[in-house]
Amino acid sequence: MALGLVASVIGAPLAADVLSTTSPTIRNNLCVGGSCLNDESFSGDFNQIVVKASNTRLLFEDATTLANFPSDDWALQANERVINGRNQFMLKNDTLGTIPVTVQAGAGENALFLADTGRIGMGTSMPQTDLHIVGSGATVGLRMQTSGASSHTWAMQSNQFNWFMTNVTDNNVPFVVRSGAGTNTLVLDDNSFVGIGTPAPEELLHIRSSTPNTDAFALFDATAAGSDSAFRLRQNGTIPSTWEFRNQQSSGRLNVGIAGGNTPLKIDNLANNNLIRLGRNGLPGEVNITGTLVVNNTQLNVPDYVFADDYALRPLAEVRAFIDKNSHLPDVPSEAEIKANGVDMTAMQMTLLKKVEELTLYTLELEQARAAQQAQIAELQGLVLGLRQMQE
């Protein structure tokens, strides 16, 4: 060991003596530094090298001059050398003047522990994973902070109740996992599908309930004033559109329509139960409306014109001829037409009303004819009675 080199880098003497030009061995203890005593005492536990001075620093000075070879100088230093400086042990890049590693005097037991498994423990000498952190308080965390013009700080923390992500800069907690959360509460699979309650989501969002008597609900909850609760369905295909289902806070209705456009369907929050049922009791083709159907069509043409004096009411003989030929009433769509084109219920209702009004006119005509016949019969009966009396 070159003692002259050791003496030159520790204690910073003004001059150095060359103790040996060979490679001597020191078998016992060694004290190096300006504060070493002639009869320095050492503990009897182990052989020791003691660096003893008011400035204790061990310098590794790289004398390499070859191109492309690493040549930075490094130093191990104990404590800062300023008034009110900190008690700490430092690994310093002496060439760059940086201190990448610092251990302060108050660091606890196993503040940093590198196990023989390659695992790192912080606060523990028995790391169970690649990085194992054991805090001294109720909450332990990992803080991440960027520097520069747009500095921002995040923290991942945990305690007995939660694991949570904190936006330290904006003072909010956007992500929380409660300690009682079950297996597969949230899963992001290899297809970027999201599973809630399932390890194998089958769609972009798959919500699964496997607990008995637990429904698989998704709740969209708007709690702020003036806020509706809604979700949207969008596609950008041949005819792009965005539909939305909106629970409107101002009315309590469920509105279904085009986002920013028309709302063709509105359901009142006080609507009765089972107003509309599609299919019932083994009748899959049945549409059952249990409430009152109110039609308000601005194109409605109510057929009161049937009672106008100039209305051309078909003679019943003409109606009979039409039925014999077409097997349906005039102005009423045939079965084939309905199968091909469907039925406009509003138009059909008005057509049926027209037929009822025409039937009323036919009935009134028949009643008028019947009354005339009854008068004629009464007149004839009077004549017959008179003739009988004359014969007697």
Residue 95 corresponds to which tokens in the numbers above?
């060439």
Task: State residue 136's pLDDT score.
Answer: 86
324-334 pLDDT, tens digit per residue, is 999 999 999 99
Answer whether 53's CB lies under 8 Å from 11's CB: yes
Lowest mean pLDDT across 6-20, 26-40, 179-193: 6-20
Answer whether 247's CB lies under 8 Å from 266's CB: no
Task: State residue 298's pLDDT score.
Answer: 52
Q: Distance of alpha carbon 3 from its chain centroid, rounded? A: 68
Task: State residue 354's pLDDT score.
Answer: 93
Q: What percent of the chain has pLDDT over 90?
A: 74
Lowest mean pLDDT across 25-34, 162-171, 240-249: 25-34
H helix or E strand, kind and range, residue 229: strand 229-235
83-129 pLDDT, tens digit per residue, is 999 999 999 999 999 999 999 999 999 999 999 999 999 999 999 99
How large is the average pLDDT for residues 350-378? 93
How large is the average pLDDT for residues 201-212? 95
What mean pLDDT value characterizes the chain?
Answer: 91
Question: Rounded to an integer, what distance in angstroms lies between the CA atom of residue 392 and that of residue 386?
Answer: 10
37-79 pLDDT, tens digit per residue, is 999 988 877 778 999 999 899 999 999 999 999 999 999 999 9
How large is the average pLDDT for residues 135-140? 91
Question: Confidence class of residue 3 from pLDDT cuts 50, 70 and 90?
Answer: very low
Answer whether 87's CB lies under 8 Å from 105's CB: yes
Task: State residue 288's pLDDT score.
Answer: 86
Does 174 have pLDDT greater than 60? yes
Does 10 have pLDDT greater than 60? no
Answer whether 160's CB lies under 8 Å from 140's CB: no
Burial 181-213 (b: 16+ CB within 10 A, else e): eeeeeebeeeeebbbbbbeebeeeebeeeeeee
Question: Rounded to an integer, what distance in angstroms lies between the CA atom of residue 240 and that of residue 226?
Answer: 29
**The most confident of 310-324, 331-345, 376-390, by mean pLDDT:** 310-324
Does 204 have pLDDT greater than 70? yes
Does 301 have pLDDT greater than 80? no
Answer whether 331's CB lies under 8 Å from 323's CB: no
Residue 35 corresponds to which tokens in the numbers above?
């504060």
Does 5 have pLDDT greater than 60? no
Bridge pairing between strands 30-32 and 49-51: parallel
250-293 pLDDT, tens digit per residue, is 999 999 999 999 999 999 999 999 999 998 888 888 888 888 77
In the three-class reduction of DSSP (H, G, I as helix; E, B as strand; rest coil), residue 359 is classed as helix
Does 295 have pLDDT greater than 80? no
